[in-house]
Copies of this chain bind each other. A is one copy, B any other.
Amino acid sequence: MFKKRLFTPGPTPVPERIMLKMANPIIHHRNPEFKEIFAELNENIKYLFQTKNDVLTLTSSGTGAMEAAVANVINENEKAIYVNGGKFGERWGHLLRVFGGIPLEIRKDWGIPPAKEEILDLIKENPEVVAVYLTHSETSSGTVTDVKEIAHEIRRISDALIIVDGITSIGAIELRMDDWDIDIVLTGSQKGLMIPPGLAFIAVSERAWKKINKTENRTYYLSLKKAKKALETGDTPWTPAITLIIGANEALKMIKKEGIENIWQRHSKLAEGIRTGIKALGLKLLSKSPSNAVTAVLMPDGIEFKKFNDALKYEFGITVAGGQENYKGKLFRISHLGYYDELDMISMISALEFALHKSGYKFEPACGVNAIQKFFLENL
């Protein structure tokens, strides 16, 4: 017997009932049975995004939705601001360049979110910018950006579209598309939505549609206009990932039942629990503004990542994410995004103690578990 547990920020664990639901005999995507499921999904996904806007379903990873948010929006030589504070923020810049936009970069050290003044100043210097691309929860560094306040401030001085990568924030961290007046929000299926990867969702405001309708078509498969037109008859323009849509519909029912505010609160509590355990063990976070979706923990001095991670994975069955790019081997990331509860977090800190011990790190035995347990007891 060797139990495995996944603590990665995508894929995240999929509830067993969803996996089994998806294992039913496949149905055709033009059948009434599927259309009913897709109609239900299209209603409930709006709740997840806290929007009245249509949310379009793409058969792609989250990066496909990011491409859609650039290729459908930016004409050649149009300026757009993006924040590069990690691997995923940086991706906005790659996409802007591929599609011929002029990217204006705000570069931040990993773990530091952008200050609103930096964005506002850049808009003032370049009033012609057509969009500001933000990363709500930067997965590579476990950093949350205050999208609410930044969006509020941008809107006071500019009509630029506000476009948010919500890939690890949707279904985990408070995001209210309509109340915050955001123009495009997107996510992937294997994150807060708790289903396997292969689908992406992108919500588009009226203001964004106006821009998209004036923008030259530079994608076909990821065309938002085609997706919107198909949605008018309850369809997708291409054969969608049918089983994943069935799974997403189930997941959205679970989300609706729990309630989105409760979900945000649960993530906040689980993340706070993990951070409490981490700190008790004397470990340090990378981020100055930690995300409630994923916690990036710096490797303690003298402890080799590979040894630690191998123990975690092969002796204790736990998969966490490693560091990316410059932080490869220098940090590990614990996900508390999606289908998790308090006991999962305690298991995680427990296994972390086992693996740290095996890799030669010195700490007061059980101090991490003790701290997280007390935190949860105080916050029942």
Interface: A329 (CB within 8 A): no
> A241, B98: Cβ atoms under 8 Å?
no
Residue of B nearest to A58 (CB): B60
Neighbouring B residues of A242 by C-beta, 8 Å: 11, 190, 196-198
> B29, A11: Cβ atoms under 8 Å?
yes
Neighbouring B residues of A30 by C-beta, 8 Å: 321
Separation of A329 and B66 alpha carbons in the complex (Å): 38
Known A-B contacts A26-B196, A95-B220; the reply to A238 vs B63 at CB < 8 A is yes
Known A-B contacts A60-B59, A196-B241, A197-B242; the reply to A220 vs B98 at CB < 8 A is yes
Known A-B contacts A29-B11, A67-B221, A217-B98; the reply to A239 vs B19 at CB < 8 A is no
Separation of A218 and B218 alpha carbons in the complex (Å): 8
Task: Indicate with 1 or 0, residue by residue over A249-267, a CB within 8 angstroms of chain B CB atoms.
Answer: 0000000000000000000
Neighbouring B residues of A4 by C-beta, 8 Å: 25, 27
Known A-B contacts A10-B239, A61-B240; the reply to A220 vs B26 at CB < 8 A is no
Separation of A241 and B31 alpha carbons in the complex (Å): 23
Separation of A289 and B11 alpha carbons in the complex (Å): 45
Interface: A28 (CB within 8 A): yes
Interface: A22 (CB within 8 A): yes
Separation of A64 and B95 alpha carbons in the complex (Å): 17
Of residues 354 to 371 in A, which have CB atoms within 8 Å of B's CB atoms?
none
- In the complex, how many angstroms separate the beta carbon of A235 from the nearest chain B beta carbon? 13
Separation of A59 and B65 alpha carbons in the complex (Å): 12
> A22, B22: Cβ atoms under 8 Å?
yes
Residue of B nearest to A94 (CB): B220
Residue of B nearest to A16 (CB): B25
Residue of B nearest to A314 (CB): B32
> B61, A196: Cβ atoms under 8 Å?
no
Neighbouring B residues of A188 by C-beta, 8 Å: 239
- In the complex, how many angstroms separate the beta carbon of A296 from the nearest chain B beta carbon? 16
Interface: A20 (CB within 8 A): yes
Known A-B contacts A19-B23, A98-B218; the reply to A59 vs B198 at CB < 8 A is yes
A221 contacts which of B26, B63, B240, B319 (Cβ < 8 Å)?
B63
Neighbouring B residues of A66 by C-beta, 8 Å: 221
Interface: A311 (CB within 8 A): no
Of A197, A222, A319, the most chain B CB neighbours within 10 A belong to: A197
Neighbouring B residues of A13 by C-beta, 8 Å: 25-26
Residue of B nearest to A237 (CB): B63
Interface: A276 (CB within 8 A): no
Separation of A25 and B194 alpha carbons in the complex (Å): 12
A197 contacts which of B67, B190, B197, B240 (Cβ < 8 Å)?
B240
Interface residues of A (CB under 8 A from B): 4, 6, 8, 10-11, 13-14, 16, 19-20, 22-31, 59-64, 66-67, 94-95, 98-99, 188, 190, 196-199, 217-222, 237-244, 313, 319, 321
- Could you show 17 A-B contacts with beta carbons less than 8 Å apart? A6-B27, A11-B26, A11-B239, A14-B25, A16-B25, A28-B319, A29-B197, A31-B319, A59-B59, A59-B198, A61-B239, A62-B239, A64-B221, A190-B239, A190-B242, A198-B240, A221-B222
